[in-house]
């Protein structure tokens, strides 16, 4: 147990029953069992139930509106304000709640690049949230721990609930970010993803001031760092699956920065969806669910045998595994890659009109980056129904974009111009019709398309402009049936496809009106044109 000289009294804590500093994974396992927070499953993963909240609660996230940062923040439905007075009142009660209770502390870093890494501290009331933080962020060396001073601190208490009328929040759950105090308060929810996503929001705010593009993407590289690829996409579109390729080295599965030195991972671990995980299609991720040190959230486990059932969605469709990068056999131990040679925009198109692969011009890349079209899969967030919902999520991560979208788009455009990265759209969603009629694109086909793009096999393949969306669709891809490449040909009724494509194009154009004033005429013209 290594303790920093910078104690918890600096954050306002007092009269704690006990402080657990930077416990190792085995020690945290012991505390998880001691406090009955979860059970140990066959082969070693810790299985936890998160209770009412099995996904993020976006309407419970607020940012403190104060003079030093308010002009830089994209206020609206995503970044909703709370005043400093109500933040202070809730903070005072939260600190009082910790009196005569134990606190688990993890001192960590966000970001593998020393030039941009952020020292953080995560203080939690549960051992398993402490293990989650230890899995997900970059662990300092023992020597670094003794002198660790956090720039940002997360105080996390799932069993402490806000009073909405008093605290001016939406519900008893809350995620409050205060950039002036460099402090994040989380309570009323046991969903551990709020910890990592709140820190992602912090990086999204800080890094653009340093001309670094923060990205909601996974990343890997081939035989050398010059063959780096990044994969943008929301939960359920395949970021984790497609980047965990046994023939390539994984940099990270979710959050990265793109600096003048290359791409670097923010995290020290992965947070993968595991519902109905295919041991043949996703063997690397599947094996992590049978490893000591992995946390399985809301996965069903047999009370007697302690065997898990990844196909059982009794608790939620959003079952998750948190595990350190070292659990992936081909993961980088440096967390760093070169400038991306290929960039993939992943979408799970519920309407079934997008081609499974297409090449984008730089202007189209800017357009689709700002649009961030996908379909959110049921269960990823609280309050969603049983059907996927088509949505537009700016920069493929609107819930975590704190500055104005134009700032992120400007950084992307600048880097595309400088490094000449190839940009591809990959539809991992539906073919042969919309959701409920067609079927999900086969993972084997998607992998073959990605491999072909990465290898350069598509460089000389003839392409045809999509008549509605405009991007260039390859006419052949190794190991993929030709008829799959043209979505109109996969529909039983081509005219029904035309109507659906026109509908989606109209959705794109209506959504992009928000950004028209902030982009060039070439980017505005890069959107779809209904026939």
Residues annotated as part of the active site: 56, 197, 216, 235, 239-240, 254, 320
Partner residues linked to 215 by β-bridges: 256
Residue 180's closest CA among 94, 57, 81, 93?
Answer: 81
b/e map of 380-403 (b: 16 or more CB within 10 Å)?
A: bbbebeeebebebbbbbbbbbbbb
Residue count of the chain, please give it: 531
Distance of CA 103 to the CA centre of its chain: 27
Is the Cβ–Cβ distance between 186 and 198 less than 8 Å?
A: yes
Is residue 54 classed as helix, strand or coil in its secondary structure?
coil
CA-CA distance, 429 to 491, in Å (whole number)?
14
Classify strands 389-392 and 373-376 as parallel, antiparallel or unpaired. Answer: antiparallel
Phi, psi of 426 (to 5 degrees): -120, 120
Angle between helices 193-206 and 127-136 (to 10 degrees): 40
E strand spans, 131-182: 152-157, 174-178
Residue 225 sits at the vertex; the CA angle it makes with 220 and 227, to the nearest 5 degrees, is 65
Alpha helices in 384-432 (DSSP H): 405-419
DSSP 8-state assignment for residue 42? T
Place of tokens 């001031």: 209
Residue 345's closest CA among 474, 449, 480?
Answer: 449
Tokens for 408, please give them. 């992120």
Cα of first residue to Cα of last residue in the chain, in angstroms, is 65
What count of other Cβ atoms lies within 10 Å of the Cβ of residue 52?
12
CA-CA distance, 146 to 113, in Å (whole number)?
21
What count of other Cβ atoms lies within 10 Å of the Cβ of residue 151?
14
CA-CA distance, 313 to 320, in Å (whole number)?
11
What count of other Cβ atoms lies within 10 Å of the Cβ of residue 292?
14
CA-CA distance, 338 to 320, in Å (whole number)?
29
């Amino acid at each position: 147990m290594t303790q920093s000289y910078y104690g918890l009294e600096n954050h306002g804590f007092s009269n704690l029953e006990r402080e657990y500093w930077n416990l190792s994974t085995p020690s945290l396992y012991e505390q998880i069992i001691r406090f009955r927070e979860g059970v140990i499953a066959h082969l070693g993963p810790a299985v936890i139930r998160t209770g009412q909240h099995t996904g993020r609660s976006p309407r419970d996230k607020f940012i403190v509106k104060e003079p030093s940062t308010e002009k830089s923040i994209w206020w609206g439905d995503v970044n909703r304000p709370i005043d400093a007075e109500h933040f202070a009142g809730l903070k005072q009660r939260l600190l009082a709640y910790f009196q005569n209770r134990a606190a688990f502390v993890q001192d960590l870093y966000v970001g593998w690049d020393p030039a941009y890494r952020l020292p953080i501290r995560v203080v939690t009331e549960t051992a398993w949230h402490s293990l989650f933080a230890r899995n997900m962020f970059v662990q300092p060396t023992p020597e670094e721990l003794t002198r660790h001073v956090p720039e940002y601190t997360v105080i996390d208490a799932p069993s402490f609930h806000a009073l909405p009328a008093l605290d001016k929040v939406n519900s008893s759950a809350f995620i409050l970010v205060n950039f002036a105090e460099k402090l994040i308060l989380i309570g009323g929810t046991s969903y551990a993803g709020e910890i990592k996503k709140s820190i992602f929001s912090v990086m999204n705010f800080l890094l653009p001031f340093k001309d670094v593009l923060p990205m909601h993407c996974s990343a890997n590289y081939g035989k050398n760092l010059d063959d780096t690829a990044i994969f943008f996409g929301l939960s359920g579109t395949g970021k984790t699956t497609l980047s965990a390729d046994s023939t390539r080295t994984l940099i990270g599965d979710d959050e990265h920065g793109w600096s003048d030195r290359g791409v670097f991972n923010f995290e020290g671990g992965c947070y993968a969806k595991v519902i109905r995980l295919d041991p043949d299609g996703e063997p690397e991720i599947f094996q992590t669910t049978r490893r000591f040190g992995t946390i399985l959230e809301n996965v069903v486990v047999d009370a007697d045998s302690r065997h898990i059932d990844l196909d059982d969605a009794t608790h939620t469709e959003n079952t998750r595994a948190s595990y350190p990068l070292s659990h992936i056999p081909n993961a980088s131990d440096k967390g760093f890659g070169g400038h991306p040679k290929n960039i993939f925009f992943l979408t799970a198109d519920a309407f079934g009109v997008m081609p499974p692969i297409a090449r984008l011009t730089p202007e189209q890349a800017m357009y689709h980056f700002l649009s961030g079209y996908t379909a959110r899969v049921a269960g990823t967030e609280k309050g969603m129904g049983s059907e996927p919902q088509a949505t537009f999520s700016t920069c493929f991560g609107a819930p975590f974009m704190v500055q104005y979208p134009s700032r992120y788009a400007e950084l992307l455009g600048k880097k595309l111009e400088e490094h000449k990265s190839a940009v591809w759209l990959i539809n991992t969603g539906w073919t042969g019709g919309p959701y409920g009629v067609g079927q999900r694109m086969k993972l084997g086909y998607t992998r073959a398309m990605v491999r072909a793009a990465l290898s350069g096999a598509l460089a000389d393949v003839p392409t045809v402009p999509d008549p509605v969306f405009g991007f260039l669709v390859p006419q052949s891809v190794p190991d993929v049936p030709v008829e799959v490449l043209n979505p109109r040909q996969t529909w039983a009724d081509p005219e029904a496809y035309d109507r659906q494509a026109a509908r989606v194009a109209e959705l794109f154009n209506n959504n992009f009106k928000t950004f028209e004033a902030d982009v060039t005429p070439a980017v505005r013209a890069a959107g779809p044109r209904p026939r």
